[in-house]
A and B are shown apart, each in its own frame.
Chain A
């Protein structure tokens, strides 16, 4: 058995799971490496086992798809064809002459190292939320929409009693609906996109009747909870001293500017906010994979331009779980074929390729509809903190650009420390780029997460552990 090629899949969300199952079913040994205690990723995040939830599906959509993934994974784990390493936080993938070494820290302490040797790697690292700043956004009680969702799905808790859900994107409606179902009074759902934008992008949207039905289902559920969506509106300020007490919501004009005099205050102790998603590309970047803009470049088999490295899911373009599943299946099949020295059988995945094309068109259409308001930065006062870690204000960023001549995010960072803190610019990068008037650039972080110095010091003098046998 040990002579079968060994694939390390990083990330156990929809893309990583689909890839694992496809590759294992076609004869590869697969090690699935993931930071969580249970498979599922963010989309299928499971309640902690000790909470003994008998009805976790109440928090989820497409539960049957999850059940199938979970059961297939269990089958492979029992058969020994897949090894699942939970609580493994991967910080670096090392490319050697003939193989790869995946370097991880064991959670939750994240102090002790673990390594996995593999013949090839498949990056299914997912994404995280983008939130653009506004006055008051650092107040406790202001959370990302996905964060509220993650805490609800994983720990069965909610952040408060009265929430406003705001920003833009297909995530807002399910989050508002889930919070309402969990007993939170959702005072408003504030979406900056205009209904007219949907009409402009109608064709690819109607080509996905399943997706539209999903949207309609959420809309019906949210109507039942009396969640009123406010289109072409935005939260322009969060109020409070020690914690969130209210937000001001205002109408936007056709250009995405706040219409003067339309602001009104809504009392709430929670603001769940999101302005779209960003891809986790750190591991791909440090492997030297080419990026297209902010996402990992892949060919039609989901191969990156680095031999032996595949990528699938949000890391290769934000598109949701259905697209991630299809990309994962294609990537897993391609890896299984290529690592055993055969050409993939294209007939076998013709249907998958077709779905991928349709789902990518759908994602592009959504991306056209859900855009942060073009003039969001006009609402960001000079006093507003932009870099949450280093407490760098918008005024400091503007001064770096206007007075000191910074023309790119890196120079702004060197002059202000914006992006130099714990999160390494993951949260503030889009805002800093926007305020500096330039496009966000890849950050080229050497490691995907903080690594204790002791672990780095040990790396050079301990032999690498072998993969599973």
Chain B
């Protein structure tokens, strides 16, 4: 079975580790938060303010703000735009992200 990395013949540098809610996740240099989470099989990292429903990527290009997430204690970052750095601490954002 082919993968997107194979398809584009990508040879990224060594993977590094970030955490999602304390769990270690491998990320590749150049990947956004959303990309690393997708690659790790995670599709939601926020719950809505009203109904507490799960959300993740929708538009993928920074327009819809559905993919908001808390990174290094800062809430409301757009996961589809934000590149990751080694050691980044990603947390599922509950509601506005300002309550915890």
Partners in one complex: yes
Taking A50-B12, A108-B83 as contacts, is the C-beta distance between A182 and B58 under 8 angstroms? no
Residues of A within 8 A of B68 (CB): 422
Interface membership of A221, Cβ < 8 A: no
- Please tell me if the beta carbons of B4 and A157 are within 8 angstroms of each other in the complex: yes
The verdict on A306 contacting chain B, using a C-beta distance below 8 Å, is no
Number of chain B residues whose Cβ lies closer than 8 Å to a Cβ of chain A: 47
What distance in Å separates the Cβ of A355 from its nearest Cβ neighbour in chain B?
28
A140-B56 in contact (CB<8A): yes
Contact, CB under 8 Å: B4 / A152? yes
Q: Give the contact-size bracket for chain A.
A: 35 or more
CA A158 – CA B10 in complex, angstroms?
15
Name the A residues within 8 Å of B69 (CB-CB).
none
A40 on the B face (CB < 8 A): no
CB <8 Å contact, A52 and B12: yes
Contact A128 B55 (CB under 8 A): no
- Say how far A66's CB is from chain B's closest CB, in angstroms: 14
Partner-binding segment picked from A54-62, A112-120, A250-258: A54-62
Q: Which residues of A contact B31 (CB under 8 A)?
A: 48, 51, 155, 157
Contact of B65 among A54, A142, A421 (CB under 8 A): A421
Are B8 and A58 in touch, CB under 8 angstroms? yes
| B13 sits at the interface (CB 8 A) | yes
**A217 on the interface (CB 8 Å rule)?**
no
Q: Give the residues in chain B near A27, CB-CB below 8 Å.
A: none
B7/A42 in contact, CB under 8 A: no
Contact B39 A50 (CB under 8 A): no
Instruction: Provide the B13-33 mask, 1 if CB < 8 A to any CB of A, else 0.
Output: 100000000000000111110
Known A-B contacts A156-B4, A156-B8, A183-B4; A35 and B62 likewise in contact (beta carbons under 8 Å): yes
Closest to A150 in B: B60
Interface residues of A in 224-269 (CB under 8 A from B): 242-243, 269
Asked if A159 is at the interface (CB within 8 A of a chain B CB), the reply is yes
> Which A residue's beta carbon lies closest to that of B56?
A140
Q: Is B43 in contact with A159, judged by CB distance below 8 angstroms?
A: yes
B29 contacts A51, CB within 8 Å?
yes
Cβ 8 A contact of B58, one of A35, A54, A147, A421:
A147
Which residues of chain A are within 8 angstroms of B30 by Cβ–Cβ distance? 47-51, 155
Q: Can you name the residue of chain B whose Cβ is closest to the Cβ of A126?
A: B61
Q: Is B44 an interface residue (CB 8 A)?
A: yes
Q: Is A138 part of the contact surface with B, judged by Cβ < 8 Å?
A: yes
Q: Which of chain A's residues have a CB closer than 8 A to the CB of B3?
A: 182-183
User: Which one of A49, A55, A138 contacts B7 once the chains associate, using CB atoms below 8 Å?
Assistant: A55
What chain B residues lie within 8 Å of A423 (beta carbons)?
63-65
Q: How far is the CA of A138 from the CA of B67 in the complex (A)?
A: 12
Residue A427 at the B interface, CB < 8 A? yes
A154 to B38, CA, bound (A): 13
- Interchain CB contact under 8 A, A54 and B59: no
Given A54-B11, A58-B9, A426-B63, 13 new contacts (CB under 8 A)? A53-B9, A54-B8, A56-B8, A129-B59, A141-B56, A143-B59, A143-B60, A147-B60, A150-B80, A154-B32, A242-B44, A389-B65, A423-B64
Identify the A interface with B (CB < 8 A). Answer: 35, 42, 47-56, 58-59, 107-108, 128-129, 138-144, 146-152, 154-160, 181-183, 242-243, 269, 388-391, 421-423, 426-427
A–B complex contacts, Cβ < 8 Å, 14 sampled: A47-B8, A52-B10, A52-B13, A56-B8, A142-B58, A143-B59, A144-B60, A147-B57, A156-B10, A159-B43, A183-B2, A388-B58, A391-B50, A427-B58
